[in-house]
Amino acid sequence: MHPNNPYFNNPPNFVALAQLYPSLAPLLSLKGSSGAETKGIINFQDPSALRELTYCLLKKDFSIDLNIPLDSLCPPIPNRLNYVCWIEDLLDNESTKEIHGIDIGTGASCIYPLLGCSRNKNWRMVATDIDDRSISFAESNVKRNHLDNVIKIIKNSSTDTFPAILFKDREQRYDFCMCNPPFYKDEQDIQDSLEGKEGQPSAICKGTTNEMITTGGEAQFVKQMVDESIIHGQRIRWYTSMLGKRGTIDTVIAYLKEKKILNYTLTTFRQGRTSRWAIAWSYGNAHASRVCLPAIFYFYSP
């Protein structure tokens, strides 16, 4: 886990959380003797329990009030925070100027902008999605948390990963973009993953088709981001994406090299039994510092 992640060395105490939020109590089973010995167990395969836990953690630790449909992707908060903390590292804790970011595929939760802008008062984010229902929930999540002055939701009706509207203002520059792309290329790909062939998460990872599936899977999605980044160049300082499958790392790095993009860096987010990765590349002279090493020093053993 990222050392700046609030849950680093301080995992959530489910029993205390259920005392604070009684809505969580019926979804918790208690183990062990009474008092401090009692452990609360959440069934991570139960979408209702997972969603309630997400709501309670966001409320308690970030004063964020979330509302998402039960069948949409429920964001595991410690994992989403890891990505936000890594972006903060890439930006080298710049806190004196406004930071402009893009979240590609924000989902119903709009989780990255909500966390990013709650933690960093100087962040301004534009969040895109292709899905009407997700757009509508994302908008209402932004409004109910009074963050509509710093987060803007945009429907992407194009087949691009960076719709033209992001660059409508010719002067507009962004400090970063982030993305958690749909991982899978089809239903079979999801099935293979569930059978433990690759990257199986410890919690249920159900989502709608739009959230889970994209033509060619995440590798194709990130390659498209790379292609479009060549056009937009330095208008975005750091292009980044999360990768959900170990096998995608080599594909994306090989593609960056093929396109002669050598200023890139990679990180791993480990959360319980689940690993995720994130890749960042830049056309400027930005270099990753602190916990993330410049790519030339990065040593990856599969």
Ligand X SMILES: C[S@@+](CC[C@H](N)C(=O)[O-])C[C@H]1O[C@@H](n2cnc3c(N)ncnc32)[C@H](O)[C@@H]1O
**From the annotation, which residues make up the binding site?**
80, 105, 129, 180
180 interacts with ligand X by CB under 6 A: yes
240 interacts with ligand X by CB under 6 A: no
| Unique residue bearing structure tokens 């030339």 | 296
Binding piece for ligand X, criterion CB under 6 A, among 58-66, 99-107, 228-236, 254-262: 99-107
The backbone region for 166, taken as left when phi is positive above 0, alpha when psi lies in -120 to 50, beta otherwise, is alpha
76 interacts with ligand X by CB under 6 A: no
Residue placing its CB nearer to ligand X in the complex, 15 or 269: 269
User: What residue numbers does the annotated binding site for S-adenosyl-L-methionine cover?
Assistant: 80, 105, 129, 180
CB 38 within 8 A of CB 15: yes
Among 214, 240, 241, 265, binds ligand X (CB under 6 A): 214
Residue placing its CB nearer to ligand X in the complex, 74 or 256: 74
CB of 128 to ligand X, least distance (A): 4
Describe the crossing of helices 47-62 and 111-119 by its angle, rounded to 10 degrees: 20
CB of 294 to ligand X, least distance (A): 26
130 interacts with ligand X by CB under 6 A: yes
**Residue with the shortest CB distance to ligand X:** 105
Residue 120 main-chain phi, psi, to 5 deg: -125, 105
CB of 262 to ligand X, least distance (A): 26
CA distances from 94 to 52, 89, 123, 244 (A): 34, 9, 10, 28
Token couple for 284 = 């400027």
CA distances from 123 to 127, 140, 176, 273, 300 (A): 13, 19, 11, 31, 32
CB 141 within 8 A of CB 67: yes
> Using only C-alpha atoms, what is the Rg of the chain?
19
Token couple for 158 = 């194009």
CB of 76 to ligand X, least distance (A): 9
Number of CB atoms found within 10 A of residue 89's CB: 19
Token couple for 94 = 């710049």
Among 5, 118, 156, 248, binds ligand X (CB under 6 A): 156
Residue placing its CB nearer to ligand X in the complex, 28 or 279: 279
199 interacts with ligand X by CB under 6 A: no
Name the residues that contact ligand X, by CB under 6 A.
73, 75, 104-107, 109, 111-112, 128-131, 134, 156, 161, 180-182, 210-211, 214
